[in-house]
DNA sequence: CGGGGATTTGACACATATCAAGAGCGGTGG
DNA sequence: CCACCGCTCTTGATATGTGTCAAATCCCCG
């Protein structure tokens, strides 16, 4: 269970926000084959030769400062984006101005698929810390898909998983109570950090209570109270954005306690 | 704005549940090119010659009785399904047994995309009236996609729109109050019936109050009260499952009345 | 005509929102 | 280096929307 060869991040380190010196240009290789995220990201599951072909996919990286928009609702759609490093939120806005966070995105995850159908992004993506994304021109993705059945299928899987993921959020929003939602949220984050070689039990939140609340369909005060409650119950320890999960099973149990 | 040539259903008739005599085998053509739904369904936007090629796509139709499952959570994934006639709900279940309706599906809409990623369906699909679906083997869809760029792209669009649609439900569940949710729901149904050539202002609900509630994250009593409220306010008229929308603008207004 | 599920409606309970105040922390500028 | 400012977070008191429980009615279907 130790970090595998291609997993070059150190295990058990809490994932902490990073800051890149302004203006520095990324010199890490742009090729998917040598990217340590390749088995979390789009190329996941591709074999050696296919993996090499894939390098035509990404021809640009883009660096974003914290708070910067990767794209905005209404922007023309042209590319998908894979998070290379950093952390993002995606936001959806209603005509009357109400808005909701519809997702948080970390290394290896794909953003922008909402734009393919309408040819315009229906929501916005914002960097929550200084971040870097791989720009994947959609036209190139389609072309590669045609030439490489494996990759074609892989992309469908990624979209499909996005659909499944969103359905589970619908379930969360539709059937869970506040503390259950927060528990589910923390466990989900923990699991995703684990998959990236970071500690499962200790991490830094990149988002504010308000953003968590927006995502979970709660007000920030309710989120804060739930955090406090978990802490009182010894399930977690919270210091600002620093979270330690002390009792995973307790959190799990807390998710399934609805009588109905 | 009259029904176009390929739109052969009569306009302004309330869409009513249909019953096929048991055992009757569908003799309507299985070819997409001659299906009156082709511009709502997967082939939407394809030109003449491409449209002809598409007929390799569907080689089976499947008839379902009301209440029957098209697929269940955990079933192996092999095909997508296009609703040919009738009405479906898709349901997602939590480990602890709680479940939620994640969507309602009518003619021309595609179900089953949740299965591609996990290779297993994550939720179930149930016919809410006697229905018929076109079975689209996924392998065939991939193959056609490789050969026909237009179709390839079209499928991505369909998946993308599913993602967008689900995000708007997340918004509904996360930010709207009960009456807003129901108003949004009715307007959405109305719009989809309209696209199919049925009346925008008069239709029959295929689902129970409980199913509506499940979809909207509300209890059935709350749904019932909201219906009554709308009726008192002269926005709609309700008799059991028969709905008449009397004041579209009123319903729209009702959706955007949150101060926050 | 009878039975059972679906729907409506009322009374009440409860979870979460709202409003408000204060504390903690980080960044900026003196 | 310290003080101040603004933002985020916490916590309390109260309001309110929706859930829960219960009973009556409606309606479809056998």
DSSP secondary structure, A9-60, as one string:
SPTTPPB----PPTTPPP-S---GGG-TTTTTSTTTT--HHHHHHGGGS--E
Return the higher-pLDDT residue of B219 and A25.
B219
Comparing every residue's Cα with the C1' atom of nucleotide D27, the nearest one is B240
Q: What pLDDT, on a 0 to 100 scale, did the predictor assign at position B216?
A: 98
Query: Looking at strand C, which nucleotides approach a protein CB closer than 7 A?
Result: 6-11, 15-20, 25-26
Considering only the beta carbons, identify the residue of A162, A174, A216 that sits closest to B163.
A162
pLDDT at A7 over 70: no
Q: With bands split at pLDDT 50, 70 and 90, how would you rate the model's confidence at A2?
A: very low
Q: Which residue of A has its CA nearest to B154?
A: A117
Residues whose C-beta lies under 7 Å from strand C: A 177-179, 217-219, 221-222, 239-240; B 208-210, 220-221, 223-225, 227-228, 238, 240-241, 260
Q: What pLDDT, on a 0 to 100 scale, did the predictor assign at position A39?
A: 82
Q: With bands split at pLDDT 50, 70 and 90, how would you rate the model's confidence at B48?
A: confident
Distance in Å, alpha carbon of B101 to nearest chain A alpha carbon = 9
Q: What pLDDT, on a 0 to 100 scale, did the predictor assign at position B201?
A: 95
- Work out if A241's Cβ lies within 7 angstroms of strand D: yes
Q: What pLDDT, on a 0 to 100 scale, did the predictor assign at position A55?
A: 79
The separation, in Å, between residue B61 CA and nucleotide D29 C1' comes to 30
What does the pLDDT average to over A91-98? 92
pLDDT in tens, B76-88: 999 999 999 999 9
Distance CA A220, CA A213 (A): 5
**What are the distances in angstroms from CA A73 to CA A70, A134, B63, B162, B173?**
10, 20, 41, 17, 20
Cβ–Cβ under 8 Å, residues B87 and B68: no
Distance CA B180, CA B168 (A): 13
Q: With bands split at pLDDT 50, 70 and 90, how would you rate the model's confidence at B54?
A: confident
Residue among A232, A234, A240, A248 at smallest CA distance from A190: A248
For residue B122, which residues of chain A lie inside 8 Å, CB to CB? Answer: 164, 167
pLDDT at A28 over 90: no
| Contact: A170, B173; criterion CB under 8 Å | yes
The separation, in Å, between residue B180 CA and nucleotide D25 C1' comes to 28
Distance CA A16, CA A28 (A): 20
The separation, in Å, between residue A166 CA and nucleotide D15 C1' comes to 33
pLDDT in tens, A96-155: 889 999 999 999 999 999 999 999 999 999 999 999 999 999 999 999 998 888 899 999
The separation, in Å, between residue A234 CA and nucleotide D28 C1' comes to 54
- Work out if B178's Cβ lies within 7 angstroms of strand D: yes
Tell me what percent of the residues of chain A surpass a pLDDT of 90: 70
Q: With bands split at pLDDT 50, 70 and 90, how would you rate the model's confidence at B249?
A: very high
Considering only the beta carbons, identify the residue of B122, B123, B175 that sits closest to A98.
B175
pLDDT at A64 over 90: yes
Residue among A187, A216, A19 at smallest CA distance from A103: A216
Q: Rounded to the nearest 5°, which phi and psi values hold at A243? A: -115, 135
Q: What pLDDT, on a 0 to 100 scale, did the predictor assign at position B38?
A: 82
Q: CA gyration radius for chain B?
A: 19
Q: With bands split at pLDDT 50, 70 and 90, how would you rate the model's confidence at A220?
A: very high
pLDDT at B63 over 70: yes
Give me the total of CB pairs closer than 8 Å, taking one residue from chain A and one from chain B.
153
In a 3-state reduction of DSSP, which class is residue B210? helix
pLDDT in tens, B28-38: 556 788 888 88
| Contact: A171, B256; criterion CB under 8 Å | no
Q: With bands split at pLDDT 50, 70 and 90, how would you rate the model's confidence at B69?
A: very high
In a 3-state reduction of DSSP, which class is residue A245? strand
Average pLDDT, chain B: 88
For residue B114, which residues of chain A lie inside 8 Å, CB to CB? Answer: 160, 163-164, 167
- Work out if A232's Cβ lies within 7 angstroms of strand D: no
Q: Rounded to the nearest 5°, which phi and psi values hold at B22? A: -55, 140
For residue B214, which residues of chain A lie inside 8 Å, CB to CB? Answer: 174
- Work out if A209's Cβ lies within 7 angstroms of strand D: yes
pLDDT at B238 over 90: yes
Q: With bands split at pLDDT 50, 70 and 90, how would you rate the model's confidence at B3?
A: very low
């Amino acid at each position: 269970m130790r970090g595998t060869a291609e997993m070059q991040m150190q295990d058990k380190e809490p994932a902490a926000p990073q800051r890149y010196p302004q203006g520095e240009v990324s010199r890490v290789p742009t090729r998917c084959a040598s990217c340590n995220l390749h088995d979390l990201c789009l190329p996941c599951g591709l074999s050696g030769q296919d993996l090499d072909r894939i390098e035509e996919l990404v021809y640009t990286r883009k660096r974003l400062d914290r708070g910067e928009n990767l794209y905005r609702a209404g922007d023309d759609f042209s590319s998908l984006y894979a998070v290379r490093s950093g952390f993002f939120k995606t936001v959806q806005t209603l005509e009357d101005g109400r808005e909701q966070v519809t997702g948080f995105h970390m290394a290896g995850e794909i953003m922008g698929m909402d734009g393919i159908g309408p040819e315009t992004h229906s929501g916005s993506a914002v960097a929550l810390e200084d971040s870097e994304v791989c720009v994947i021109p959609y036209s190139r993705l389609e072309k590669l898909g045609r030439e490489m059945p494996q990759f074609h299928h892989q992309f469908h899987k990624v979209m499909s998983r996005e659909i499944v993921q969103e359905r589970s959020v619908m379930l969360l929003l539709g059937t869970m109570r506040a503390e259950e939602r927060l528990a589910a949220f923390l466990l989900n984050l923990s699991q995703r950090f684990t998959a990236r070689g970071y500690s499962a039990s200790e991490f830094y939140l990149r988002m504010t209570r308000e953003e968590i609340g927006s995502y979970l369909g709660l007000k920030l005060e309710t989120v804060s109270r739930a955090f406090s409650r978990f802490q009182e119950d010894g399930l977690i320890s919270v210091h600002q954005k620093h979270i330690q999960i002390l009792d995973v099973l307790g959190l799990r149990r807390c998710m399934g306690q609805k009588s109905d």
